[in-house]
């Protein structure tokens, strides 16, 4: 057990973390996290559902008919800074111009933020239109443009979160991703005219998000004919993890205080747990498109929700049957157990442990009831086109069962030839397109942190004040934080996945409104 000073204990208490949690975190630094036992990749007809085009209309009708009876929230993780978007441009400030920088300057007028940048530069005596007409080849002029784009002297895009950058240009002005989520949310997260949207933001930028929504909300409500109920939250301090030195002793700042760092967006399970809704749509802040190609996204969001509603209906029916006339697990009929096992296998893609056949009737009933009584999520999956990140796999769980998981490469032992071969056979990729059911059949909210896998996480190398340190992160909200949910994967079109990782991604046709 780590020995902490009185000052440490005061800091830990203020952080809202229990000392035993810190001891456990430090032990993970020492021992590492175990890899997942991946059985096979989830593919079409083997873990990933493909909805036939001719059935889409029925799915949309199913969702639209149910939406007005449900409380619906669109949950958008939006705290990520845009710094990495501008990596090549920051190098340009030092006079290092690469191919990406050349494309940026060649197509500068095509960016939605061009007019804002032009106004800022004009205040400082620079005519951007004239500079562009001249080819923008002068290094000093280029660096001036980049300075006023990236620094707080100008637009401050190098420090702002993605949600506050101007992404798309329209005839009546430009929109940020936050505004695009309002427009998109009105199309499928609408319950009797009310659209609830929740953004998770960083503390230092919350005020700017709130100001943006306050300034624009009335106009969007008038145009779209809805009422927006927009809320915000920040990642909780109690979900931060301690940092350590290379020798695994606690890292200390110059003032001798302990260093706690945010544990990645897996910690947002606590924020999601505070949401009171029947259906929650989850989508990253930067995965938005202009209005002319939103239709496919809206269609498949509704289809995913319809799949969720159908699964919940089947689960509730089965739970009711298992309870009917049974005073103890031994009273459950063999027929109901067989039907429930089939539901788990065929609809919820959960296979029992190898010793299931040797279990008593009471043990089988207990296993099945526990598996059915969990939060449920339906995850959209796109075909793998080489994007880095997680994908859909069948994974063996601690209880011996096998179920579907969204798995990151860091969670797989790629030095194991068998595991590496399975990883390489993945046909689909996780675009962060989730629809979640957070309540049981009686309307009681699940306590979501109870359904995460505490043994998932990874250690990363960082530095502070010139000193090396090790930090600890949780796998994403849709990885370890949701490991013990009922999970269904559905293939969605690639056009629904349009993230913005670099500034030049905004030049792709999908982000240039027609």
3-state secondary structure 339-350: HHHHHHHHCCCE
3-state SS assignment for residue 265 = helix
Residues 87 and 74 in one domain: no
**Parallel, antiparallel, or unpaired: how do β-strands 402-407 and 350-351 relate?**
antiparallel
**Torsion sign across C-alpha atoms 235, 282, 188, 306:** negative
Determine phi and psi for 350, rounding to 5 degrees. Answer: -125, 115
Domains in the chain: how many in total? Answer: 2
Give the E-state strand segments of 215-261 in sequence order: 227-234, 241-242, 260-261
pLDDT digits (tens, 9 = 90+) for 361-409: 889 999 999 999 999 999 999 999 876 667 999 999 999 999 999 998 8
| Residue 1 pLDDT exceeds 70 | no
The residue whose two tokens read 């459950």 is: 332
Give dist(CA 500, CA 171) in Å, integer.
22
Residues 496 and 443 in one domain: yes
Q: What pLDDT was estimated at residue 330?
A: 61
**Parallel, antiparallel, or unpaired: how do β-strands 43-44 and 47-49 relate?**
parallel
DSSP code at position 503: G
Would you state the structure tokens that stand for residue 148, as one six-digit string? 């006023």
Q: What pLDDT was estimated at residue 88?
A: 94
The range of the structural domain enclosing residue 236 comes to: 6-82+162-308+430-511
Residues 111 and 246 in one domain: no
Residues 145 and 37 in one domain: no
pLDDT digits (tens, 9 = 90+) for 55-92: 999 999 999 999 999 999 999 999 888 888 999 999 99
Verdict on whether the full-model pTM lies above 0.85: yes
In whole numbers, what is the pLDDT of the chain averaged over residues?
93
Residues 240 and 258 in one domain: yes
Q: From residue 300, give the alpha-carbon distance in Å to each of 56, 182, 381, 440, 490.
A: 8, 17, 11, 24, 9
Domain containing 187 — which CATH number? 3.90.550.10
pLDDT digits (tens, 9 = 90+) for 477-505: 888 899 999 999 999 999 999 999 999 99
* SS3 assignment for 430-494: CCCEEEEECECCCCCECCHHHHCCCCCCEEEEEEECCEEEEEEECCCCCCHHHCCCEEEEEECCH
Give dist(CA 169, CA 514) in Å, integer.
10
Do residues 377 and 359 touch, judged by C-beta distance below 8 A? no
The residue whose two tokens read 């009708």 is: 61
* Residue 395 falls inside a structural domain: no
**Cβ within 8 Å of residue 237, ≥6 positions away:** 15, 16, 260
Residues 66 and 198 in one domain: yes
Residues 73 and 90 in one domain: no
Residues 109 and 237 in one domain: no
* Residue 223 falls inside a structural domain: yes
- Cβ atoms < 10 Å from Cβ of 287: 20
**Cβ within 8 Å of residue 357, ≥6 positions away:** none
3-state helix, strand, coil in the chain (%, to 5): 45, 20, 35
Helices (H), 18-155: 19-31, 56-67, 87-93, 99-106, 114-123, 128-133, 139-150
Q: Is 176 exposed, middle or buried (0-12, 13-18, 19+ CB in 10 A)?
A: buried
Residues 55 and 169 in one domain: yes
Residues 72 and 173 in one domain: yes
């Amino acid at each position: 057990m780590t020995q902490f000073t009185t000052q440490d204990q005061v800091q830990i208490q203020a952080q809202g973390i229990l000392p035993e949690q810190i001891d456990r975190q430090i032990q993970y630094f020492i021992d590492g996290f175990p890899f997942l036992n991946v059985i096979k990749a989830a593919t079409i007809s083997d873990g990933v559902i493909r909805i036939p085009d001719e059935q889409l209309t029925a799915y949309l009708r199913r969702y639209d008919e149910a939406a007005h009876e449900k409380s619906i929230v669109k949950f958008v993780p939006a705290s990520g800074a845009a710094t990495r978007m501008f990596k090549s441009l920051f190098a340009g400030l030092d006079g290092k111009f690469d191919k990406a920088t050349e494309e940026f300057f060649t197509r500068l007028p095509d960016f939605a933020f061009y007019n804002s940048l032009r106004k800022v530069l004009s205040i400082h005596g620079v005519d951007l239109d004239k500079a562009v007409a001249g080819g923008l080849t002068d290094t000093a002029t280029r660096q001036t443009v980049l300075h006023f784009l990236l620094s707080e002297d100008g637009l401050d895009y190098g420090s702002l979160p993605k949600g506050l950058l101007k992404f798309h240009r329209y005839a009546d002005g430009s929109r940020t991703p936050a505004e695009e989520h309002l427009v998109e949310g009105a199309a499928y997260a609408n319950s009797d005219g009310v659209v609830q949207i929740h953004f998770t933001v960083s503390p230092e930028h919350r005020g700017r998000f709130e100001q943006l929504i306050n300034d624009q909300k009335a106009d969007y409500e008038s145009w779209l004919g809805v009422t927006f109920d927009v809320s915000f939250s920040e990642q909780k301090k109690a979900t931060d993890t301690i940092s350590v030195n290379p020798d695994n002793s606690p890292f200390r700042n110059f003032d001798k205080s302990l260093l706690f760092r945010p544990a990645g967006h897996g910690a947002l399970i606590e924020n999601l747990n505070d949401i009171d809704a029947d259906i929650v749509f989850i989508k990253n802040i930067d995965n938005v498109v202009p209005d002319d190609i939103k239709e496919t996204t809206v269609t498949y969001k509704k289809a995913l929700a319809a799949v969720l509603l159908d699964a919940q209906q089947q689960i509730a029916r089965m739970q009711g049957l298992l309870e009917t006339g049974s005073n103890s697990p031994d009273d459950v009929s063999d027929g109901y157990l067989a039907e429930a096992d089939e539901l788990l296998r065929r609809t919820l893609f959960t296979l029992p442990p190898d010793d299931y056949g040797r279990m008593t009737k009471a043990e089988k009933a207990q296993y099945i009831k526990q598996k059915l009584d969990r939060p449920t999520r339906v995850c959209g999956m796109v075909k793998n086109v080489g994007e880095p990140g997680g994908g859909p796999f069948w994974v063996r769980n601690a209880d011996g069962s096998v179920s579907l998981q969204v798995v990151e490469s860091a969670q797989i032992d790629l030095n194991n030839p068998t595991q590496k071969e399975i990883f390489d056979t993945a046909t689909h990729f996780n675009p962060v397109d989730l629809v979640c059911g957070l309540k049981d059949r009686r309307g009681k909210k699940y306590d979501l942190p109870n359904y995460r896998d505490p043994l998932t996480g990874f250690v990363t190398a960082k530095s502070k004040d010139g000193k090396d340190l090790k930090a600890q992160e949780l796998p994403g909200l849709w990885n370890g934080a949701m490991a013990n949910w009922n999970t269904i994967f559905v293939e969605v079109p690639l056009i629904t996945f349009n993230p913005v990782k670099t500034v030049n991604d905004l030049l792709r046709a999908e982000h240039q409104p027609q």
